[in-house]
Amino acid sequence: MSTPEEKKAARVLIVDDEENVRNSLKRLFIDTGMEIVLAPSGKAGLEILKGNEIAVIISDQRMPEMSGADFLAFSREISPDSIRIVLTGYADVNTAIKAINEGGAYRYITKPWNDNELISTVKAAAEKYHLLRENRYLTELTRKQNEELKRWSAELEIYVQQQTIDLTNQNKKLKQLNGRLEGQLKEFISSFSDLIELRDRTVYSHSSHVAAMSKGVALETGFGQEEAEMVAVAAQLHDIGKIGVPDVILIKSPDELSAEETVEYRKHSIRGQVALAALEEFKETGLLIRHHHENFDGSGFPDGLKGENIPLGARIIAIADRFDRLVKKAAGARIEDALKKLRESLGTQFDPALYGPVEKLAREDAASLVRQAGNGEIELSLSDVAPGMVLSREVRSGTGLLLLGMGSVLNEKTIEILRKYYSVDPHRSGIFVRITGKTPRS
């Protein structure tokens, strides 16, 4: 599927049986940059619709042979995406309402019209048309991407169900407020997260881990479910600005960066906010992304905020981010090491009040991993794994595609498929499996 073309000048179809009205309307829009097409009747207008892409239709209501309401109803079958506007006299308001109900009209304008009002209405209608077309493209693009993922899943007989966070409620809220992206928001956010993590192979699933921890801490500190979901979304996208950071900077640790590289790196939190600035629903989310590198003592960036002047959601993301980078999915003693390092930074980098919830959640997760893994885990090469082994970590390809989730039980067929896949897209690490008291074959 081709990418959307640059937005073309909106084509507006004006249907009116009076020539002077048609010409008057055409002159009204001469300086708007819109392309105006005229039709003297509903029948002629339908013929034009069959061979042209029309963004906005303006139709007179009272016309011989075919009324404006009937014309708009027929036009809906030919060009369903076109935004329809009906012109009517004060005496025909009821028929204009019929045009809205049956013909799918967007608005009705009474005669005589106000020039500025009519121009503003048509411009708004044209913008709505372009948004509908863009949303249709995004929907189709997402559908094809989903089909591609399903194809891989069918070949591997693996149903990849590893979603980083559940955005169902958030999607419903956005549908009510916006109605444009509908069910595509979840895939849109996940795609951004995947793009970020594919650039840094050492932090697979980092965004999803930070999101889960951030949501848990938010709930522990008194956030409502909806507010906690918002913090989780911000955590999911907290590194979105790194897409604009050069690879040579991302592969270095912060203390290895030059002064110029540090300046460039620190722009990513602002870029993350800017990336979401066009979406009103994400205004608060963008603010949390901007401030997730602020330090509690005021030494952070980009604005040097201090203490409670830093949004609480950003403080939560900051400590969750640091914790996940310290443990890198590990459990047991390394959890203790990570918690110790967090304690050393309380009051300087992190809010001391957030340590308790983080420690609680970390110990609960560590205990769960220990219960699942029995005596721990071991890293094996793909040639050494055997049927019946249980994965203690997820398995990804060299290019970052999730192949098997943590907890999956290996069998002969999945092992053979993994070998086939690794032959063309190998990962540099081995396969991590749980130790259950039986010695893995060597």
pLDDT of res. 378: 80
The reported pLDDT for the residue numbered 105 is 72
- At residue 333, the pLDDT reads 46
Model confidence at 2, pLDDT cuts 50, 70, 90, reads very low
Q: Which residue has the tokens 């071991």?
A: 378
Q: Does the residue 144 lie in any domain?
A: no
- Do residues 428 and 297 both lie within one domain? no
- Residue 8 structure tokens: 């073309």
Those residues whose C-beta lies under 8 Å from the C-beta of residue 27, and which sit 6 or more positions away, are: none
**174 and 320 co-located in one domain:** yes
Single residue among 350, 372, 394 that ends a domain in this structure: 372
Domain annotation covers residue 291 = yes
Which CATH number does the domain housing residue 212 bear? Answer: 1.10.3210.10
**172 — alpha (psi -120 to 50), left (phi > 0) or beta?**
alpha
Top-confidence residue, 406 or 293: 293
Q: Is residue 3 part of a domain?
A: no
Checking if the pLDDT of 134 tops 90, the result is: no
Give 276 or 181, the one with higher predicted confidence: 276
- Does 231 map to a domain? yes
Of 115-119, 198-202, 376-380, give the lowest mean pLDDT range: 198-202
Q: What is the average pLDDT across 273-293?
A: 87
- The answer to whether 402 and 162 are in contact (CB under 8 A) is yes
**Average pLDDT, stretch 94-115?**
73
Q: Which of 52-66, 155-169, 258-272 comes out lowest in average pLDDT?
A: 155-169
Evaluate whether residue 207 is within a structural domain.
yes
Residue 366: domain span? 162-372
Last residue of a domain, one of 132, 147, 175: 132
Q: What is the predicted pLDDT for the residue at 78?
A: 92
Lowest mean pLDDT among 12-21, 107-116, 178-187, 235-244: 178-187
Residue 384: closest CA among 426, 331, 421, 439: 439
Please tell me whether residues 187 and 172 are part of one structural domain.
yes
- The number of folded domains in the chain is 3
Assigned domain for 141 exists: no
Lowest model confidence (mean pLDDT) among 230-234, 267-271, 365-369: 365-369
List strand residue ranges (DSSP E) for 355-427, in order.
Answer: 376-380, 395-396, 402-404
Q: Please tell me the pTM assigned to this model.
A: 0.47
Mean pLDDT of the chain: 80
**Residue labelled with tokens 């189709």:** 140
Name the phi and psi angles at 144, rounded to 5. -70, -35
Both 22 and 59 in a single domain?
yes
Residues 315 and 293 in one domain: yes
Q: Is residue 2 included in any domain, yes or no?
A: no
Q: Based on the domain organization, do 179 and 250 belong to the same domain?
A: yes
pLDDT at site 296: 96
* 82 and 46 together in one domain: yes
pLDDT of 440 strictly over 50 = no
Per-residue pLDDT averaged across 111-116, rounded? 88
- Verify that 326 and 220 share a domain, yes or no: yes
Domain assignment of residue 137, yes or no:
no
Domain boundary among 372, 390, 419: 372
pLDDT digits (tens, 9 = 90+) for 421-437: 888 888 777 888 887 64
Percentage of the chain surpassing pLDDT 90?
Answer: 27
Are residues 309 and 272 part of one domain?
Answer: yes
CATH of the domain at 415: 3.90.105
